[in-house]
A = this chain, B = another copy of it.
Amino acid sequence: MPKDAYTPYQFPDLTHLFAPRSIAVVGASEKEHSIGNHAMKNIVEHSKFAGTLYPVNPKQDSVMGIKCYPDMASLPEAVDVVVVVIPAPFVRETVEQAGQKGCGFAVILTSGFSEADDWGREEEAKLVEISQRTGIRIYGPNCPGLVNLTMPLGMTFSPAFKDDIAPGVIGLATQGGGLGRNMIQHNVRGMGFGNWSSSGNECDLQVADFVHHMAGDPAVKVICCLIEGFKDGARFAAACAEAARQGKPVVGLKVGRSEYGAKAAASHTASITGSAEVNSCVFAQMGVVEVDDIDEMMDVAMLFTRKMPKGDEKIAVFASSGGAASLCADNVGISALEMAEFTPETAKRLADALPAYAGMTNPVDTTSISISHPEAYREALTAVAQDANVGIVLAPLPMDYGQYSVINAQSLAAAQAQSQVPIVPIWMSERQGDGYKALAKSGHVPFRSLRNMRKAVRRWIDYGKWLNTADHAWSPAIIAQGSSGEAGEARTMTEAEGKRALAAAGVPVTAPEVASSADEAKAIAAKMGGTVAMKIVSAQITHKSDIGGVKLGVAPDEAAAAFDVIMSNAKIAAPKATLDGVLIEPMAPAGGLEAFVGVSRDPVFGQVMTFGLGGIYVEIFADVTRRMLPVTPMAAQEMIGALTSSKLLSGYRGQPKRDTAALADLIVKVSDFVMATPALTEMDINPVWVGTEGEGVMALDAVIVVET
A contact set with B: CB distance below 8 Å: 116-117, 160, 174-179, 181-182, 185-186, 188-189, 226, 228, 255-265, 267-269, 292-296, 321-327, 329-334, 339, 357, 359, 363, 365, 398-401, 428-431, 448-451, 616, 619-621, 623, 644-645, 647-648, 652-653
- In angstroms, Cα B134 to Cα A144, docked, is 73
Count the copies: 2
CB within 8 A of A182: which of B365, B429, B448?
B429
Tell me if A431 and B294 are in contact (CB < 8 A).
Answer: no
- Given A264-B329, A264-B359, A293-B449, output 14 extra A-B contacts at Cβ < 8 Å: A117-B357, A178-B398, A179-B398, A185-B430, A257-B333, A258-B331, A261-B332, A264-B325, A264-B330, A268-B323, A294-B449, A295-B448, A616-B645, A621-B623
In angstroms, Cα B615 to Cα A680, docked, is 40
The residue that A322 contacts in the complex, of B268, B322, B431, with Cβ under 8 A, is: B268
CA distance A71 to B219 in the complex (A): 70
- Which chain B positions have C-beta within 8 A of A257? 330, 333-334
> With A and B bound together, what is the CA distance between A255 and B260 in angstroms?
34
Name the residue on B nearest A319 (C-beta): B178
A121 to chain B, nearest CB (A): 13
Contact across chains for A449 and B255 when beta carbons are under 8 A apart: no
A399 contacts B268, C-beta separation under 8 Å: no
Q: Which of B268, B323, B331, B428 contacts A326 (CB 8 A)?
A: B268
User: What chain B residues lie within 8 Å of A430 (beta carbons)?
Assistant: 185-186, 188-189, 295
Contact partner of A399 (CB less than 8 A), chosen from B185, B296, B330, B448, is B185
Minimum CB distance partner of A116 in chain B: B357
Query: A398 to B182, Cβ gap below 8 A?
Result: yes
Is A431's CB under 8 angstroms from B188's CB?
A: yes
The docked-state distance in angstroms from the alpha carbon of A123 to that of B369 is 25
Q: List 7 A-B contacts (CB under 8 A).
A: A116-B357, A179-B398, A181-B399, A185-B431, A228-B323, A255-B327, A264-B359
Q: Are B326 and A228 in contact (CB under 8 A)?
A: yes
The CA of A644 and the CA of B623, in the complex, are separated in Å by: 13
The closest CB in chain B to the CB of A174 belongs to B323
Q: How far is the CA of A359 from the CA of B116 in the complex (A)?
A: 11
The answer to whether B398 touches A333, judged by C-beta atoms less than 8 angstroms apart, is no
Q: What chain B residues lie within 8 Å of A188 (beta carbons)? A: 430-431
Contact call B259/A178, Cβ cutoff below 8 A: no
Residue pair A325, B363 in contact (C-beta under 8 Å)? no
| A323 contacts B256, C-beta separation under 8 Å | no
Q: Which residue of B lies closest to A359 (CB)?
A: B267
- A226 and B90 CA atoms in complex are apart in Å by 61
The distance in angstroms between the C-alpha atoms of A336 and B260, with both chains bound, is: 10
From A365, which residue of chain B is reached at the shortest CB distance?
B268
Task: Flag if A330 contacts B620 (CB, 8 Å).
Answer: no
Q: Given B175, B256, B296, B329, which contacts A451 in the complex, CB threshold below 8 Å?
A: B296
Contact present for A292 and B451 (CB under 8 Å): yes
Bound complex: CA A507 to CA B4 (Å): 70
Beta-carbon nearest neighbor of A324 in chain B: B178
Cβ contact within 8 Å between A260 and B644? no
The 4 closest A-B pairs by CB, nearest first: A258-B333, A261-B330, A176-B323, A178-B321
- Residues on the B chain within 8 Å of A179, using CB: 321, 323-324, 327, 398
The reply to whether A265 and B330 form a contact with Cβ atoms under 8 Å apart is: yes
Contact A178 B399 (CB under 8 A): yes
Which residues on B sit within 8 Å (CB–CB) of A652?
A: 616, 620
A268 touches B621 (CB 8 A): no
Residue numbers in B under 8 Å from A117 (CB-CB): 357
- Given contacts A177-B323, A228-B326, A332-B260, is CB(A428)–CB(B182) below 8 Å? yes
What CA separation (Å) do A329 and B267 show in the bound complex? 12
Chain B: CB-nearest residue to A327: B255
Closest residue to A399 on the B side, CB-wise? B181
Within 8 Å by CB of A621, from B177, B331, B401, B621, lies: B621
Q: What's the nearest-Cβ distance from chain B to residue A8, in Å?
A: 32
Q: Are B365 and A330 in contact, CB atoms less than 8 angstroms apart?
A: no
Distance in angstroms from A64 CB to nearest chain B CB is 24
Chain B neighbourhood of A116, CB < 8 A: 357
Asked if residues A331 and B261 are in contact (CB atoms below 8 Å), the reply is yes
